[in-house]
Amino acid sequence: MKIVVGMSGSSGSVYGIRLLETLNQLPDVETELVMSPAAELNIREETAWDPEKVKKLATRTHDWRDVGATISSGSYKTDGMIVAPCSANSLASIAYGVNANNLLLRAADVTLKERRRLVILFRETPLHRAAAFGDEEAIQMLLDAGAVIDAKDMNGETPLSWASWHLRPAPILRKLCYGDIRIHPQYTGMEANLLGKPNV
């Protein structure tokens, strides 16, 4: 089995390191590592590891600028790719197919093009972000594409929780309900609770 591992500049470097340590112990697994400069910086800031020692955990390491590397081609057979950790910038670039002379992004693009499994370790899902900051159309687009409505972020919170914290309007809250959770039909939003004089 051959797995491409990408490490981008998000907090959570320890997840990528632990992944490489685990895969390194499996006799039938080869790893192809590509690490961004921001990932190297985060490894130094967040852990006691040196990035060069992390690179030695992989079977092969590629420079992030080498868009001609083997893993940038669909004809190079791999069993999939894991991006751990994945920054918001990398996630957005992967989602929109922007690879900007970056091997990590190019390898992810090829993985999707070849219909191989791509696992992204992001602190929250795109639906969490849309629930907090997006509009109804963006949320619906993600749901239609198969976003998991009750997905948990790294703290165990759902997109509905995020929408609630950010005081999103009732239509967005209703769109994010799952299971037995419902928003009262007369609920119009937190603004109604914030108007008027407090009872003293």
What is the number of helices (H) and of strands (E) in the chain? 10, 5
Which residue stretches of the chain have pLDDT < 70?
A: 184, 186-200
Query: What pTM did the predictor assign?
Result: 0.67
Bridge partners (DSSP) of residue 4 are 32, 81
CA distance 163 to 99: 31
What is the three-class DSSP state of 56? coil
CA distance 83 to 6: 4
Any idea which residue has 């992030």 for tokens?
A: 64
Q: What residue ranges do the domains of the chain occupy?
A: 2-120, 126-194
From first CA to last CA, the distance across the chain in angstroms is 68
- What is the pLDDT, as a whole number, of residue 190? 55
Give which of 128, 192, 148, 151 is closest to 183, Cα–Cα.
Answer: 192
DSSP for 58-121?
Answer: SSEEE-TT-TTSGGGSTTS--SEEEESS--HHHHHHHHHT--TT-HHHHHHHHHHHTT-EEEE-
Note the pLDDT tens digit of each residue in 31-64: 999 999 999 999 999 999 999 999 999 999 999 9
Say which CATH topology domain 126-194 has: 1.25.40
Q: Sign (positive/negative) of CA torsion 179, 181, 182, 183?
A: negative
Centre a 10 Å sphere on the Cβ of residue 196 and count the other Cβ atoms it contains: 7
Instruction: Provide the token pair at 176.
Output: 């994010």
Q: Examine domains 2-120 and 126-194 and report if their fold is the same.
A: no
By the 10 Å C-beta count (0-12 exposed, 13-18 middle, 19+ buried), 2 is classed as middle
- What is the pLDDT, as a whole number, of residue 58? 97
Instruction: Provide the token pair at 95.
Output: 């989602």
- What is the pLDDT, as a whole number, of residue 95? 87
Instruction: Provide the token pair at 48.
Output: 């006691």
CATH annotation of 2-120: 3.40.50.1950
- What is the pLDDT, as a whole number, of residue 169? 87
- What is the pLDDT, as a whole number, of residue 191? 52
